[in-house]
Structure 1
């Protein structure tokens, strides 16, 4: 730990000299070297973000602060990108003495990185808002989502009442699911509903495993635990690998839901493959699963997709 701290301090003081030396020898600034040399996606975007965050240049720090304030005001949305990113990029080009005509490919790559970095920060704010929104049984929208979850997962058996033991069939602990959403708030319900509606075959497949007479588990409660895991992976930055390697989408709530779906499906696979004796093994298997996911996310080249395998357990 002491050696690590010493190295961090040394890097802090040596960084300006190293950057100056590389600028002189390569004729490129650090941001250019990253955008030209690193693979598009998590590798490039994370290194651009690190470079911006470590910059000691006043104008660069002001750009970072400005874009953070736009996120805080919830104005960082695609339709406003040009308004906020064009002047920000112009400042960086001026400060770094980059000719946009000679380095047009850099401008495009750098813009994409900025879109990803601050979309991720915007997503964190949105997810936090959902997590802090308590499920309210007096809110018609909340109630409709909960009832929709049942109808999608169990279309062949209508609910007998709003408060009923039937909820335990899909893995809630008691007669009223609202008590199970306390920890993750509305985020837990939104995740479960997205999984059920966007991946009906996959969610049905997973639900069938949860009802297995020997290896069964509480589908909804496990789903909320997966929500918690996805939330903390997003919060500590681990999920950037998934978000930044998605070529079709910028980080947004739907992409977070897709990440959740991937995690739920993969956890189900590990659970069944582990052949647990009972639910007492949940903590150990869940921790093993989280460690495996973190190792995979640590590789900036990792790409995550749901690959459905039909099995007979």
Structure 2
């Protein structure tokens, strides 16, 4: 909101750098120090008197433009279409199966087995349209970093009464996590959790928490059938947004599962 030309220029430069995902490494340190020095010069702040300013403002710069950079990184993944001819994409998909179903071998690339982990048809690639590669990255991170929790949730998805499509629900929750990030509601979580720059790993952790908690909430609601998904998801989203309004909010998957 500053009207000072130097501050405006500084802000615009930091925006450009973070939007292009170059706020990292040695560049990050140089930019942060440059921002501190610019503000101290313009505002006539004496670092010998206000020594805490250098530390506190530096952390603010890292958090604010780190969050903006994370937005750009997440958006790039969301816009990346799943490509069955891309070896890395296919490798991630097979890895997802291996993490969730370690004791069952796939019959082939296109098979009804995918429906067991919650994809709609025989070929999972069609389900990634809405959230692109981000949907797969989120599912794989949940299954990798929180393997026991993911297995726990997958077993619930096969409940004879309250079952649901694990992967499809997961992709819907990717959209929720992305929306909360885009709209800024998630800043509370990232600012309270990240020691320095918010990273994509932290976004995956945020997503994993949402998936784990949604599963718990879904079972608590005891839905009559899957047709209640939209209303329950909306109610869950409202609860999450309310929780994020708490300035001390830090989400974490249940410790008893998280540490297995």
Q: TM-score range by the shorter chain?
A: over 0.9
The normalised TM-score by structure 2 is 0.96
Give the aligned length. Answer: 257
Aligned to 1:45: none
> 1:1-313 residue pairs with structure 2 within 5 A?
54-248=1-195, 250-307=197-254
Q: State whether residues 133 and 186 of structure 1, in contact with CA within 8 Å, keep that contact through their aligned partners in structure 2.
A: yes
Distance 1:292 1:105 in 2: 36
SS at match of 1:245: helix
Structure 2, gaps ≥5 residues long: none
Distance 1:84 1:96 in 2: 18
Distance 1:103 1:248 in 2: 22
The normalised TM-score by structure 1 is 0.80
- Any runs of at least 4 consecutive aligned residues in structure 1 with deviations exceeding 2 A, and if so which? 247-250
* Structure whose alpha-carbon radius of gyration is higher: 1
Distance 2:196 2:169 in 1: 27
1:54-81 Cα distance to aligned partner (Å, 9 max, x none): 2222221111011112123321013322
RMSD of aligned Cα (Å)? 1.2
Distance 1:185 1:202 in 2: 24
Aligned to 1:3: none
1:156-197 Cα distance to aligned partner (Å, 9 max, x none): 110011100000000000000000000000000000000000
* Deviation of the 1:250 alpha carbon: 2.5
Structure 1, gaps ≥5 residues long: 1-53
Q: State whether residues 202 and 265 of structure 1, in contact with CA within 8 Å, keep that contact through their aligned partners in structure 2.
A: yes
1:216-239 Cα distance to aligned partner (Å, 9 max, x none): 100000000000000011011111
